[in-house]
Amino acid sequence: MSSSELAQLSTLVDGLHKRAPHVPRVGLVLGSGLGSFADDLKSITKIPYAELTGMPVSSVVGHAGNFVFGTWEGVPVVCMQGRVHLYEGHAAPTVVRGTRAMAKLGATCVLLTNAAGGLEPSWTPGDLMLITDHLNLTGTTPLLGANEDALGPRFADMTRAYDPEIMQMAREVGQAQHIALREGVYAGLLGPSYETPAEIRMVRTLGAQAVGMSTVLEVIALRHMGVRIGALSCITNLGAGISGNVLSHTEVEETARAKRQDLKRFLGHWIALAGENA
């Protein structure tokens, strides 16, 4: 990590420290159309990214751009309401600066959500998928360059990138709440164009069940720091060429929004379990 990246991360963490009402235990990253969960927390402190030196601001519709501190069933939580992406032109370390800051503030477990294209023809838009592993196909990593030993080791282990216990908690929530949960591998691509049908066939052949433009860099950065991860995709559409429909961000957002109540209920129970046990 460059010294300027480290300085910017420190500035961001200092800025958050000054305004944070508590040390968070669980961090949440809320993706496209999924940000409204943060508004349901208790004792909310909302900090717009634009008010924080060092925090990049997302230009994507559907990504609000706030850190939200609050409690959920007694668990101190920090949320990122919206994230920045590589395709917006940010470097990988900038993309993960906010998630690294959540870990620096004390979050030992982070749950990430995203909107994704489903690669199984039998799946339906609106399905929820627990991410069990990923393919980082972005061509970059936030760990590029000199290692920052204070954050983690040079060669971060990714064997259990998605924490087996946190995945098990998700399965228990799905069963108890009667919310069907798919499972699979998430392929993270650069974007911002959606894939061609040939690229969708490629990622299916590589072993993915979902495809998207986020999450994998955040997971790498957080695992480097030893943070435990859970991640959930809202399957907002089938991958290009699978259904014959064309893809649009409006459809992605609308499907995520239509699924909001189930997703909120799911997340609420998952956070409570993870906050107690992780």
Q: Which residues are catalytic?
A: 32, 63, 85, 87-88, 115, 213-214, 237, 249
By DSSP bridging, strand 66-72 and strand 128-136 are: unpaired
Could you say whether residue 252 binds ligand HPA (CB under 6 A)? yes
Buried b (16+ CB within 10 A) or exposed e, 15-27: bbeeebeeebbbb
Using CB under 6 A as the binding criterion, the count of chain residues that bind ligand HPA stands at 13
Query: Which 186-245 residues touch ligand HPA, going by CB under 6 A?
Result: 194-195, 211-213, 236-237, 239
**Of positions 92, 247, 263, 273, contacts ligand HPA by CB under 6 A:** 247
Q: Which of 52, 44, 50 is nearest to 76 (CA)?
A: 44
Residue 87 is classified by DSSP as G
Distance CA 218, CA 111 (A): 11
Let me know: does 226 contact 152? Beta carbons within 8 Å: yes
Query: Which 113-172 residues touch ligand HPA, going by CB under 6 A?
Result: 115-117
Let me know: does 29 contact 80? Beta carbons within 8 Å: yes
Binding flags for ligand HPA, 42-81, as an x/- string (CB under 6 A): ----------------------------------------
Shortest separation between residue 236's beta carbon and ligand HPA, angstroms: 5
Structure tokens at 138: 């972005």
Site stretch for ligand HPA (CB under 6 A), options 4-12, 111-119, 150-158, 218-226: 111-119
Closer residue to ligand HPA in complex, CB, 194/266: 194
Closer residue to ligand HPA in complex, CB, 195/218: 195
Return the ∠ at Cα 189 (arms to 119 and 231), rounded to 5°: 70
Structure tokens at 116: 């994704």
Shortest separation between residue 162's beta carbon and ligand HPA, angstroms: 19
Binding site for ligand HPA (CB under 6 A): 115-117, 194-195, 211-213, 236-237, 239, 247, 252
